[in-house]
A = this chain, B = another copy of it.
Amino acid sequence: MNNKQNVGILGATGMVGQRFIQLLENHPWFQVSWLAASDRSSGKTYGDAVRWKLDTPLPPAIASMPVSPAVPDDAPQIIFAALDTDIARELEPKFAAAGCAVISNSSAFRMQPDVPLVIPEVNADHLALLPQQNWNAASQQRKGYIVTNPNCSAIGLVLALKPLEQRFGLRAVFVSTMQAVSGAGYPGVPSLDILGNVVPFIRNEEEKLEAETQRLLGRLEEGKIAPLNAKVSAQCNRVAVEDGHTESVSIQLAHSATRQDILAAWREFHPLRGANLPTAPAQPVEYDAREDRPQPRLDRMRGRGMTATVGRLRPCSLLHWKFTVLSHNTIRGAAGAALLNAELLASRGMLLPGVSVSPGTSA
């Protein structure tokens, strides 16, 4: 027997669902006790339902678990949700209304005013929005909620920007992405579209990247998030990379900063130091001084996939500074992001809904 908390996974057979299972194997605090997927999979064992696409083995104990229907009846109170947007919009409120803590990777509610969009190192204080949520008007006894993490293209960028915004202020951001195919799920991008090719379009991605960046860097003021007043312009491209989003970034700061100032801001960025969250990397933002780094194949797994690697810091002739940032899109940009959110909530006693979600417990 152990005293780990049971967690469930909604959308367990997809690419992000698989990453949840991989990252939760041997997790010190959580154990997977419930898996749900589409009706097509329901009733099968997980091993029969999934097309496992990761290069670590599917844990046998998970393989033999049944796939449950995506209803909250027998679900545990903590739910990791890896659903497509439309389905998330329908299902996540049902689980919240049933009293679950829904740790969501979907974009469905990210911009809803009372739903925190959180990167633990960046804006943990936004969790204070939680008590505003009211998914189940009828019952007050067991209050569920939804917490979201950002789009996979936003999270590396914002990790790199936060230490700079904090110290020097941020006026403008230009970002051009080269995104991995795993970001589109499975089957996702047809091979005929990406072999030897670039696709300069990902539906709704530029809008999300721009708006989420402003919200994540925004301030909590009188119970609302005031988005950062900085212009963000994004161009999103798909490239023939399996995992890891690479982004060319140019920024304008509010206050001048030298190269050494910026490197120090990144190096000294340790907002979770002392929190001992199992999934948190030792170094959330790591600068690589080699002239041709970061690269997705070589750098995406730093910090077990949770570190954002920056490189090529140099002056910009148009704004102030240019650099490249890379992060793993299905770990730091999806399943790992949600898992770190759950760990943050747990460390603050906010994870089991109905017990501890109250204004007094937020950061």
Chain B residues whose C-beta falls within 8 Å of the C-beta of A57 in the assembled complex: 302
Q: Give the CA-CA distance A241 to B186 in the complex, in Å.
A: 20
**How many copies of this chain are found per oligomer?**
4
Chain B residues whose C-beta falls within 8 Å of the C-beta of A6 in the assembled complex: none
Query: By the criterion CB–CB under 8 Å, are B192 and A188 in contact?
Result: yes
Chain B residues whose C-beta falls within 8 Å of the C-beta of A248 in the assembled complex: 176, 200, 235, 237
CB proximity to B under 8 Å, residues A11-35: 15
Q: Give the CA-CA distance A14 to B174 in the complex, in Å.
A: 37
Contact for A318 among B181, B233, B240, B292, CB less than 8 A: B233
Range, interface on chain A: 35 or more
Query: By the criterion CB–CB under 8 Å, are B188 and A189 in contact?
Result: no
A209-242: contact bitstring with B at CB < 8 Å (1 yes, 0 no)?
Answer: 0100000000000000000000111010101111
Chain B residues whose C-beta falls within 8 Å of the C-beta of A235 in the assembled complex: 176, 248, 250, 322, 324
Q: Give the CA-CA distance A55 to B291 in the complex, in Å.
A: 17
A60 proximal to B (CB < 8 A): no
A295 proximal to B (CB < 8 A): yes
Query: By the criterion CB–CB under 8 Å, are A200 and B232 in contact?
Result: no
A276 proximal to B (CB < 8 A): no
Beyond A187-B192, A190-B190, A235-B176, whether A200 also contacts B246 by CB under 8 A is: yes
Query: By the criterion CB–CB under 8 Å, are A318 and B174 in contact?
Result: yes
CB proximity to B under 8 Å, residues A315-356: 316-319, 322, 324
Contact for A199 among B194, B233, B240, B292, CB less than 8 A: B292
A196 proximal to B (CB < 8 A): yes
CB proximity to B under 8 Å, residues A143-180: 172-174, 176, 178
Query: By the criterion CB–CB under 8 Å, are B194 and A195 in contact?
Result: yes
Beyond A55-B300, A192-B53, A239-B239, whether A198 also contacts B232 by CB under 8 A is: no
Q: Give the CA-CA distance A316 to B299 in the complex, in Å.
A: 31
Chain B residues whose C-beta falls within 8 Å of the C-beta of A237 in the assembled complex: 178, 246, 248
A312 proximal to B (CB < 8 A): yes
Query: By the criterion CB–CB under 8 Å, are A196 and B296 in contact?
Result: yes
A8 proximal to B (CB < 8 A): no
Contact for A210 among B291, B292, B317, CB less than 8 A: B317
Chain B residues whose C-beta falls within 8 Å of the C-beta of A319 in the assembled complex: 233
Beyond A188-B190, A195-B196, whether A172 also contacts B318 by CB under 8 A is: yes
Q: Give the CA-CA distance A56 to B291 in the complex, in Å.
A: 18
A99-120: contact bitstring with B at CB < 8 Å (1 yes, 0 no)?
Answer: 0000000000000000000000
Query: By the criterion CB–CB under 8 Å, are B196 and A196 in contact?
Result: yes
Nearest-CB residue, chain B, relative to A189: B191
Contact for A242 among B200, B201, B291, B297, CB less than 8 A: B297
Chain B residues whose C-beta falls within 8 Å of the C-beta of A232 in the assembled complex: 317-318
- Interface, chain A (partner B; CB < 8 A): 15, 53-57, 172-174, 176, 178, 181-182, 186-201, 210, 231-233, 235, 237, 239-242, 246, 248, 250, 291-302, 311-312, 316-319, 322, 324
Sample 15 A-B pairs with CB under 8 A, ordered by A number: A54-B298, A56-B301, A57-B302, A191-B193, A192-B242, A195-B195, A196-B242, A196-B296, A196-B297, A198-B241, A233-B318, A233-B319, A235-B250, A237-B246, A237-B248
Q: A55-B300, A233-B322 are in contact. List 4 more A-B contacts (CB 8 A).
A: A174-B318, A189-B192, A190-B191, A239-B240
